[in-house]
Structure 1
Amino acid sequence: MEKEKSKAGRIMLIISIIFLAITLYVTYYRYTKIQRAIFTTGKIVRFEKKIEEKRENNRTKKTTFYYPEFEFKDKTGRLVNVKSNAGKGNSPAYNVGEEIEIMYSPDDSSDAQINDFASLWLPTFVLGIFTLIFSFVTYIIRKKEL
């Protein structure tokens, strides 16, 4: 029984360390990307709709996700059109024609995204939550082993 507890504690510790490393890497990647980015104004031109079906309690629930497509002029004056990979469910987050702040890579203007908290930091935030959960579970397991 003691070996099983010890093994579970070690596995959880390894998972916690892996989650921490991934979270730190993603945070650093986002931070450096933001520091290097060029900021400008763009405009929403349309939305791509995707319907996702989820089966819950013998019922099918459909959710429509709206992925914005936006355009902006880069530092050379070229018009760039980008489809966002960050969508919002049930209703669009923006209106067609709405002006938004865009950030893009100085090396590749097609590597652009809308400058908002959800698209920039939500993945890091979720990873951080998982890291905290696994760390807490690891702490509880290790504390019971002592």
Structure 2
Amino acid sequence: MQVQVRGRGARRWITFGVIAFGGLFLVVGLILAGVSVSFLTDAERARGTVVALEWRNDGTGTARKKRVNDDPAAYPVVEFASADGTPRKFRDSTGSNPPSYEVGEQVEVLYRADSPEDARIKGFASLWLLPLIFGGIGLVIGGIGTVVALVTRRRP
């Protein structure tokens, strides 16, 4: 009898931990979404041109284990003129393979007027990918923990 009580208590703590972990990821996703929304409301818009593709591996070193897809990703380098006419150049934070953009392609750039070096390409991945990943993982893990908690609670 005593073993069952300890086992049930441990299961409850593990279930609570899974729900808390999922909730943490969900909160991080919501914060990142809020940062994107804040950026969009304050952002200036400009036309830019992709002037180069910077190919790089995210992890370097020979001691690293080989991943399934170890190909380099292409990060677009974009040139644009801010509202004051100053030419600016930045590397977008989102890379892909195959490349999402081609050299010479026209893109819409979003930047903060008070800090034009904080610029992004107006695209789904650069604005919403991280919030969706964190929020999605949080919903799945928290949902699984909640279902497990509800199912085990109903058992006699």
Q: Report the TM-score, using the length of structure 2 for normalisation.
A: 0.84
What whole-Å deviation, never above 9, does each CA across 1:95-140 have from its counterpart, x for those lacking one?
A: 1111100000111101001000111101111112101111211112
Report how far residue 85 of structure 1 moved. Answer: 1.9
1:137 aligns with 2:144: yes
Find 2:90's aligned residue among 79, 82, 87: 82
- The aligned counterpart of 1:27 is 33
SS of aligned partner of 1:130: helix
| Preserved CA contact (<8 Å) 1:5 1:145 | no
For residue 20 of structure 2, what is the aligned residue in structure 1? 14
> Matched residues in 2 for 1:61 and 1:36: separation?
37
Gaps of 5+ in 2: 1-6, 60-64
**RMSD value over aligned CA atoms?**
1.7
In the alignment, which of 96, 99, 124 is matched to residue 103 of structure 2? 96
Unaligned runs of at least 5 residues, structure 1 = none
* Aligned counterpart, 2:81: 73
What's the CA shift for 1:141? Answer: 2.1
Give 1:142 deviation, angstroms. 0.7
1:120 to 2:131 alignment: no
| CA distance in structure 1 between the aligned counterparts of 2:53 and 2:134, rounded to whole angstroms | 28
Cα distance between partner residues in 2 of 1:20 and 1:141: 18
Out of 11, 31, 53, the position equivalent to 1:5 is 11
Larger RCO of the pair (alpha carbons < 8 Å, separation 6+) = 2
TM-score (norm 1): 0.89
Q: Which has the larger radius of gyration?
A: 2
Match of 2:66 among 37, 55, 78: 55
Q: Which ranges of 4 or more aligned residues in structure 1 deviate by more than 6 Å?
A: none
CA 131–61 in structure 1, closer or farther in 2 if over 3 Å, else same:
closer
**1:136/1:37 CA distance change after superposition, 3 Å:** same
Structure 2 counterpart of 1:140, which letter? V
CA distance in 2, matches of 1:70, 1:141: 48
Q: For this pair of structures, how many residues does the alignment match?
A: 142
